[in-house]
A and B are shown apart, each in its own frame.
Chain A
Amino acid sequence: MTRIPEITSREQLPPEGYSAFDQVVSVYNGRVVGPFRVLFHSPELARRACTIGAFLRLDSPLPHSVRELAVIAVARELDCHYEWMAHENGARRAGVREEAIEAVRNGKTEGLDQEEALVVGFVHELLRLNRVSEATFHALLARFGAQGLTELTGTIGFYRFFACALNAFEVPPDSPINLPAIARQS
């Protein structure tokens, strides 16, 4: 159960929030996705944050499979059940290998190919260790370039932002997920 009332229709907002609601919902083909069910309690904030996600999903030249792999790795790292639910199939559709999804789900690196390990390792270093090794950074820069790496970092940061809202307010996934608890060491 979400810890505050979810906002899923524009009539729950004062009239000055309607345009923000409509704008956000149009980006998601008419749906109110989880983070916005709570973020709409601050409509202008929701509207602005949505533009970041729209850029990353619709305009960034980063390959979709890389983006979606990073998103499920963030969801795993932050134990964000909603985000995992929302992106597991997205990762599959974007072409992320089943073996890679399983490895991320279980917090393991075995089974990842070199590029997958690079992206997942970056997420782990960034979110868990708060530092990124020289080796990881330079491999990423060589692979994705300055703009690509900026957008990969922005993707990790943005889904971390979403996870803060989802985790703080305990927005549940819309359908059951399999994301086992894992023990972590920094």
Chain B
Amino acid sequence: MARIHLIAAREDLPPEQQPAFEEIAGSRGGRVAGPFQVLLHSPELARRIAHTGSYVRFDSTLPADVRELAIIASARANDCQYEWAAHEPLARSTGVRPEAIAAIRDGTAPAGLTPQEALVVGFTHQLLKANRVSEATFAAALETFGTQGLVELAATIGYYSMLACALIAFDVQPERPA
């Protein structure tokens, strides 16, 4: 369920717009996920966002577990149920500790987090909730991830917060309970 028709099959689009659907599906193992099912109401916008997302998701220099930790921390900060449901399993499979996932989900973080987990979660939380990052957190994050890595961390948080806008505005529900 969502607030508008979800474009879940290429036949939902007129023929001249189907290449956007196919490109997105092709970049993600044949699947067009929730955010793109709404964004495809503007096919060229959807295509360009997905292309950016492919970099964030598949080509970024960040370690996969750091990326997924930042994504679930963003989903939590933005109360985005769909994103949480979609990425909690990916966080697990990329090696994020179950204790860290639970602490983020339950809002008890940073209690129970390792220093590096607390750094990523704190950076995400400060950026999304306070619109700024403290000197101490910034300096530690720069030391840990380097300049390119930290730019990509901020971009990962920004990208998933962009998707959250679409998911929340159109009330896209998780495909399984979150």
Q: Which of A23-64 touch B at CB < 8 Å?
A: 38-39, 41-42, 44-45, 48-49, 51-52, 55-56, 59-60
Asked if B42 and A168 sit within 8 Å, CB to CB, the answer is: no
Decide if B154 is an interface residue (CB 8 Å cutoff): yes
List which B1-50 residues lie within 8 A (CB) of chain A.
3-5, 38-39, 41-42, 44-45, 48-49
Contact A167-B133, Cβ < 8 Å, known A3-B138, A130-B78? yes
- Provide the residues of chain A in CB contact with B150, threshold 8 Å: 4, 168
B60–A45 touching, CB < 8 Å:
yes
Among A93-101, A102-110, A148-156, the stretch that binds chain B is A148-156
Tell me if A118 is interfacial: C-beta within 8 Å of chain B. no
Residues B147 and A153 in contact, CB atoms below 8 Å apart:
no
| CB contact under 8 A between A51 and B48, given known A130-B168, A161-B159 | yes
Contact of B169 with A132 in the complex, beta carbons under 8 Å: yes
Assembled-state Cα–Cα distance A141/B41 (Å):
12
Count, chain B residues at interface, CB 8 A: 50
A146 beta carbon closer than 8 Å to chain B: yes
| A interface, over-half SS | helix
Q: How far is the CB of A75 from chain B (nearest CB, A)?
A: 10
- Residues in A with CB closer than 8 Å to B157 are 164, 168
CA distance A41 to B120 in the complex (A): 19
A-B contact list, 7 entries, CB within 8 Å: A4-B147, A52-B45, A59-B44, A60-B45, A146-B41, A150-B38, A158-B162
List 10 additional contacts besides A126-B168, A131-B79, A160-B162; criterion CB under 8 Å.
A39-B155, A42-B152, A49-B155, A55-B48, A130-B80, A146-B4, A151-B42, A154-B39, A161-B159, A164-B161
